[in-house]
Amino acid sequence: MSPERHQRIREVLRQRQLDLTVCLENVHKPHNVSAIVRTCDAIGIHRVHTVWDERHKLRGGTAMGSQQWVRTTNHDTIGEAAAALKAQDMQILVTNLSQTAVDFRDVDYTRPTAILFGQERYGVSNEAVALADQDIVIPMVGMVQSLNVSVAAALILYEAQRQRQIAGLYDKATLPDEECQQLLFEAGYPRLQKMCKRKGIAYPPIDDHGHIVASKAWWQQLQVSPAVLQALHADEIAG
């Protein structure tokens, strides 16, 4: 990994926003999912949440776009997702045209926030609306009354970024060092990462210059087959 790439990754990780996220409820078109995840990466969201039923579930994790940089947590139900978000003290906003909805720009996004987006044709479910803390809308003066879900997500997320930058929330690193180390290794050494994953070897630390800090034994583990490595581990446990 070059020093330039290492510093770039470090800077990206330093600005990750752990208390800002989106939740996608049955957003199933691959190009929409990919575009939303790409926007999440662009504004520094670290993790997105998804809920897919069997009708809308993407096959094999298709089209998660910038998934190398944005973590994904999938939930079986919208109730489970909402509970997980509220456990993190997040306000849940939902894009929904209602009498109680407010302009998306009038919301305080400096608070821990999760923004819920619904399925492309029908929007969010009634259960999702009931679980949210506030309905939000994007004002429109044309004939159409809705935007593509990925476009709507971009508009709202960049308003959140604007508010957070003014408040200085991008100036303080919040991502735990352990996770930074994991991402640094995965992004800086993708071939070694695949070998570690295939053989079940723990990632080594990365120093301040982007270099791997590992013992001779760790390097030797990469040169043996998974079967041999498993046998060695079994012997160590038995001993």
pLDDT of residue 239: 46
Q: At what angle do helices 226-238 and 190-199 cross, to 10 degrees?
A: 60
On the question of pLDDT at 62 being above 50, the answer is no
Pick from 187, 160, 179, 138: which is nearest to 19 by CA? 160
Q: Which of 166, 201, 226 is the last residue of a domain?
A: 166
pLDDT of residue 157: 97
Q: Is 147 labelled a binding residue?
A: yes
The chain-wide mean pLDDT, for the chain, equals: 86
Q: Answer whether 45's CB lies under 8 Å from 20's CB.
A: yes
Q: 132-173 pLDDT, tens per residue?
A: 999 998 888 786 777 889 999 999 999 999 999 999 999 989
Q: 191-222 pLDDT, tens per residue?
A: 888 889 888 999 999 998 888 898 888 888 88
107 in a structural domain: yes
8 in a structural domain: no
Residues 105 and 207 in one domain: no
Residues 144 and 93 in one domain: yes
Q: Answer whether 111's CB lies under 8 Å from 92's CB.
A: no
Residues 124 and 22 in one domain: yes
Q: Which residue has the higher pLDDT, 208 or 66?
A: 208
- Within 8 A by CB and 6+ apart from 71, the residues are 46, 47, 48
| DSSP structural state of residue 202 | P
99 in a structural domain: yes
Q: Answer whether 70's CB lies under 8 Å from 47's CB.
A: yes
Q: Which of 110, 138, 166 is the last residue of a domain?
A: 166
Q: Which of 117, 136, 166 is the last residue of a domain?
A: 166
pLDDT of residue 30: 85
Residues 31 and 132 in one domain: yes
- Rounded to whole angstroms, the Cα distance separating 91 from 20 reads 10
Residues 100 and 205 in one domain: no
Residues 219 and 161 in one domain: no
pLDDT of residue 31: 87
pLDDT of residue 229: 58
Task: Kindly report the CATH number assigned to the domain that includes residue 130.
Answer: 3.40.1280.10
Q: Is 73 labelled a binding residue?
A: no
Q: Answer whether 120's CB lies under 8 Å from 27's CB.
A: yes
Residues 116 and 186 in one domain: no
| Structural domain containing residue 93 | 17-166
On the question of pLDDT at 59 being above 50, the answer is no
Residues 125 and 225 in one domain: no
Distance of CA 9 to the CA centre of its chain: 16
Residues 148 and 188 in one domain: no
Q: Which residue has the higher pLDDT, 2 or 180?
A: 180
Confidence of residue 226 (pLDDT cuts 50, 70, 90): low
Number of structural domains the chain divides into = 2
Residues 36 and 66 in one domain: yes
On the question of pLDDT at 238 being above 70, the answer is no
Q: 116-134 pLDDT, tens per residue?
A: 998 877 778 899 899 999 9
Q: Is 50 labelled a binding residue?
A: no
172 in a structural domain: no
On the question of pLDDT at 63 being above 50, the answer is no
On the question of pLDDT at 58 being above 70, the answer is no
Residues 133 and 49 in one domain: yes
Q: 21-37 pLDDT, tens per residue?
A: 999 998 888 888 989 99
pLDDT of residue 144: 72
Confidence of residue 107 (pLDDT cuts 50, 70, 90): very high
> Which H helix or E strand runs over 218?
helix 216-221
- Rounded to whole angstroms, the Cα distance separating 208 from 97 reads 49
Residues 42 and 136 in one domain: yes
pLDDT of residue 227: 67
pLDDT of residue 228: 60
